[in-house]
Amino acid sequence: MKIHIPTPLRTYTGGLETVSISGATVDGVFQQLTVTYPELKPHLFTSEGKLRSFVNVYLNDDDIRYLEGKQDTAVNDTDELTIIPSIAGGTNL
Amino acid sequence: MLRIQYADYEALRAHGEETYPNECCGVLLGKNIAGESDRGAAMNSAAADNMVQQIVRAGNTRTDSAHNRYNIAPQELVKIQRQARGLGLDIVGFYHSHPDHPAQWSTTDFAEAHWLGCSYIITSIEQGKAATTNSFLLRGTGEDDKKFEDEPIQIDIPANLAATAAQNQKGSA
């Protein structure tokens, strides 16, 4: 399946915006992604192996955190995953 | 350096005036020039430019505290990234406004900045009018060593507009 990589993380995918990775579940795809591109791992996961809080992952148009199966959700080759770090901020007042 | 067209620069400032007293936010699409083949080197090189070719307005989801917070819904970001891909562009930065607050990054801005190599533009809106616009480049290799650096903005003015401006200046001198 296709995985879309956000601008800052393309450093670790050889500059690629889209990479193709096979897997049966979201988790499986991520495992394979970090095997293929090991430098991505610390940017996506904490040392305990949890997805970093500011990293959003969308399976097609759905946030995986809100999918019933979460990271165990089954995927097929025509699905697309998008990794998108959060954008927020504001004044301190 | 951040390079942006005059029309886009004016549009993002106007966006902040429109949403005042709330914060506005949006996304900068373009290219990191010098960055295509070696982004790692590019984002850590002072020579790399984020060149804006299009700005996209985004909604501020922080309706609970929109006067001093902004957040772009990830769902909207996914759409914007898809749009960028269709245009052959990348997300190269973001902009937001600080209503009645200086155009400097805050600790909140820094804590919530995660797009390394991207430009973060902040415009101060004073009493509803766009005042100062600054850009900050998020440098570093990760959360542990990231930092905001002041980034010069080069505004590209079309030749015909520049000629008119020069003419006006001559007339008023």
Distance between CA atoms of residues B132 and B143, nearest Å: 28
Residue A93's pLDDT is 53
> Taking 60 as the threshold, does the pLDDT of residue B42 lie above it?
no
Mean pLDDT of B105-132: 96
Residue B169's pLDDT is 74
Residue owning tokens 């080759």: A77
Q: Which fold has domain A2-85?
A: Ubiquitin-like (UB roll) (3.10.20)
Q: Which tens digit of pLDDT belongs to each residue from A40-69?
A: 999 999 999 999 999 999 999 999 999 999
Token pair for residue B139?
A: 């440098």
Query: Which residue does chain B place closest to A82, by CA atoms?
Result: B78
Query: Which residue does chain A place closest to B66, by CA atoms?
Result: A90
Strand, coil or helix: what is B132?
strand
- The CA-to-CA distance between both ends of chain B, in Å, stands at 32
How many other C-beta atoms lie within 10 A of the C-beta of residue B11? Answer: 15
How many other C-beta atoms lie within 10 A of the C-beta of residue B31? Answer: 17
Confidence of residue B158 (pLDDT cuts 50, 70, 90): confident
Closest CA to B135 of B147, B150, B146, B145: B150
* Contacting residues of A for B115, CB less than 8 Å apart: 6-8, 85, 87
CA atoms within 13 A on the CB side of B82: 14
Domains and CATH numbers, chain B: 2-166 (3.40.140.10)
Distance between CA atoms of residues B170 and B173, nearest Å: 5
Interchain pair B101, A93: CB under 8 A: yes
Upstream peptide bond of A38 is cis (omega within 30 degrees of 0): no
Strand, coil or helix: what is B116?
coil
DSSP state of A17: S
Select the more confidently predicted residue: B45 or B28: B28
Domain ranges of chain A: 2-85
Residue owning tokens 């200086």: B102
The interface predicted TM-score of the complex, written ipTM, equals 0.92
Which of B69, B70, B114 faces A54 most closely, judged by CB atoms? B114
Which of A15, A56, A90 faces B39 most closely, judged by CB atoms? A15
> Taking 90 as the threshold, does the pLDDT of residue B113 lie above it?
yes
Distance between CA atoms of residues B132 and B129, nearest Å: 10
A63 vs A25, A60, A70, B11, CA distance in Å?
14, 8, 9, 31
Residue B161's pLDDT is 80
Q: For chain B, what percent of residues have pLDDT higher than 70?
A: 91
- Distance of residue B121 Cα from the nearest chain A Cα, in angstroms: 12
Residue B86's pLDDT is 95
